[in-house]
Amino acid sequence: MTTSAASLPSALRPRQVLSWFGVAPFFLFALLFLILPTLNIVVGAFRNAAGEATLENLGKLLSPSIRSAFWISIELSLLTAVLGCLFGFLIAAAITLGGLPRPLRNAILTFSGVASNFAGVPLAFAFIATLGRLGFVTMLLRHWFGINLYGSGFNIVSFLGLALTYLYFQIPLMVLIITPALEGLRREWREAAESLGASGFQYWRLVALPVLWPSLLGTLALLFANAFGAVATAIALTGSSLSIAPIVLFAQIRGDVLNDPHLGYAIAFAMIVLTAIANGIYILLRMRAERWVK
């Protein structure tokens, strides 16, 4: 099959046909294991058990328990996205513009690469070992500073605990994405602004932030989607005691706890819609950002 095509005298057609065989496995693979399964869920969200078209499933999303699960999820994702952006930006600004030694910058970027991938079950264990009832920091605070963390109402198995844990992969992701953007800020812009008499604050407000804001907002959207889809960390940390949307869906798939498979479709569909919107914003703003930062 392969040698015959090469020996054909530059005939375009058989060559082109053969090239199609090169990309066909990819499309078949994407269709079978990515697109069809997702479409199945989307279509299922608009069908009832008898296979008729309906909006009933989506309506059930508004029931108090599901609605509150989504609401907690959105709050958690938004909070960790905003804080992740803020702290990530501060660290990225410190290592790019803060005049710190160069090796430190490289070390932080490498560590960010590791930490942004250190999500899931092990991350949850690390936080339980640190801020759990007998955790490292909990004990440290009690023995050295006399602070009783759990006495003050803190619990790692809570919204706050989950948010603290999520930040461990959110902040590094922000550092990784925003550092190149900050390095793209040209020195001439700052010099030009200063020669026109701008203060540091004015430079940031009128020059740097307008250039950076598509990157900032775009990354915010990306971090939102990143937190929203995270399931393993939440399950390993809280079991199923904190009812967030992905955990509700996980329980539904595992044991049909809602007694209604089509409600599962609707939850999954709503999750796709939310992450798709967030990612759409990211891609759109990223394209705008690339106009300035080269």
Q: Does residue 259 touch other proteins according to CB under 8 A?
A: no
Looking at the DSSP bridge assignments, the partners of residue 47 are 53
Residues in contact with 183: Cβ distance below 8 Å, sequence separation at least 6, in sequence order: 96
Sole binder of other proteins in the list 250, 260, 292, 293 (CB under 8 A): 250
Comparison of 175 and 181: residue with beta carbon closer to other proteins = 175
Q: Which stretch binds other proteins (CB under 8 A): 63-71, 104-112, 187-195, 204-212?
A: 104-112
Q: Does residue 74 touch other proteins according to CB under 8 A?
A: no
Please, which of residues 115-154 interact with other proteins by CB under 8 A? 115, 117-118, 120-131, 134-137
Q: Does residue 98 touch other proteins according to CB under 8 A?
A: yes
Amino acid at residue number 148 = N
Q: Which stretch binds other proteins (CB under 8 A): 14-22, 47-55, 182-190, 203-211?
A: 14-22
- Whole-angstrom CA distances from 85 to 93, 123, 189 are 12, 20, 24
In angstroms, give the least distance from the CB of 197 to other proteins: 19
Sole binder of other proteins in the list 16, 65, 152, 195 (CB under 8 A): 16
Give the pair of three-digit tokens for residue 84.
């992740």
Sole binder of other proteins in the list 64, 99, 103, 151 (CB under 8 A): 99
Give the pair of three-digit tokens for residue 283.
């891609």
Q: Does residue 258 touch other proteins according to CB under 8 A?
A: no
Q: Does residue 114 touch other proteins according to CB under 8 A?
A: yes
Cβ contact 193:148 at 8 Å: no
Question: b/e per residue, 80-99, with b = 16+ CB within 10 A?
Answer: bbebbbeebbebbbebbeee
Q: Which stretch binds other proteins (CB under 8 A): 19-27, 74-82, 185-193, 205-213?
A: 19-27
In angstroms, give the least distance from the CB of 70 to other proteins: 13
Please, which of residues 189-248 interact with other proteins by CB under 8 A? 225, 228-229, 231-232, 235-236, 239, 246
Cβ contact 84:173 at 8 Å: yes
Comparison of 22 and 51: residue with beta carbon closer to other proteins = 22
Q: Does residue 275 touch other proteins according to CB under 8 A?
A: yes
Cβ contact 212:189 at 8 Å: no
Contacts with other proteins by CB under 8 A: the residue count is 87
In 44-132, which ranges are E strands?
none
- Provide the 3-class DSSP secondary structure of residue 53: strand
* Dist CA 232 CA 235 (whole Å): 5
